[in-house]
Structure 1
Amino acid sequence: QQLVLYSRTRTLALIKPDVVHLAEEIEDVILRSGFTILQRRKLQLSPEQCSDFYAEHYGKLSFPSLTVFMSSGPIIALALARENAIAHWKALIGPAQRARASEPEGLRAKYGTSDLRNALHGSESMTAAQKEIKFMFPDSLCEPVPMAEAAGDYLSKHVNPTLIIGLTELCKQKPLDPCIWLSHWLMRNNPNQPKIEDAAIVQEAE
Structure 2
Amino acid sequence: MEKEMPQLQMPPPRVYVERTLALIKPDVIHKADEIEDIILRAGFSILQKRKLHLSPEQCSDFYADQYGKLFFPSLTAFMSSGPIIALVLAREQAIAHWKSLIGPANSTKARETHPESLRAIYGTSDLRNAVHGSESFSTAEREIQFMFPGSIIEPIPLGSAAKDYLSRFINPTLLAGLTELCKRKPEDPFTWLADWLIDNNPNKPKVQHGVVTEEIE
In the superposition, the TM-score normalised over structure 2's length comes to 0.76
Amino acid at match of 1:91: S
For 1:134 and 1:177, locate their aligned partners in 2 and report how far apart those are by CA, in whole Å: 37
What does residue range 33-72 of structure 1 map to in structure 2 within 5 Å? 33-72=42-81
Alignment partner of 1:111 out of 118, 122, 138: 122
**Structure 1 position 15, deviation (Å):** 0.3
For 2:51 and 2:194, locate their aligned partners in 1 and report how far apart those are by CA, in whole Å: 36
* 1:181 to 1:69, Cα distance in 2 relative to 1, 3 A: closer
For 1:185 and 1:126, locate their aligned partners in 2 and report how far apart those are by CA, in whole Å: 35
What does residue range 72-151 of structure 1 map to in structure 2 within 5 Å? 72-97=81-106, 98-151=109-162
Greater strand share, 1 or 2? 2
Unaligned segments of structure 2, at least 5 residues: 1-10, 212-217
Percent sequence identity over aligned pairs:
68
CA offsets 1:75-126 (integer angstroms, 9 cap, x no match): 0111222221111101001101121111100011111122221100111122
Structure 1 counterpart of 2:23: 14
| Larger mean Cα displacement after TM superposition, 71-80 or 127-136 | 127-136
RMSD, aligned CA: 2.9
Structure 2 counterpart of 1:204: none
In the superposition, the TM-score normalised over structure 1's length comes to 0.79
Unaligned segments of structure 1, at least 5 residues: 201-206
**Structure 1 position 193, deviation (Å):** 5.9
**Structure 1 position 189, deviation (Å):** 6.1
| Larger mean Cα displacement after TM superposition, 141-150 or 131-140 | 141-150
SS at match of 1:146: strand
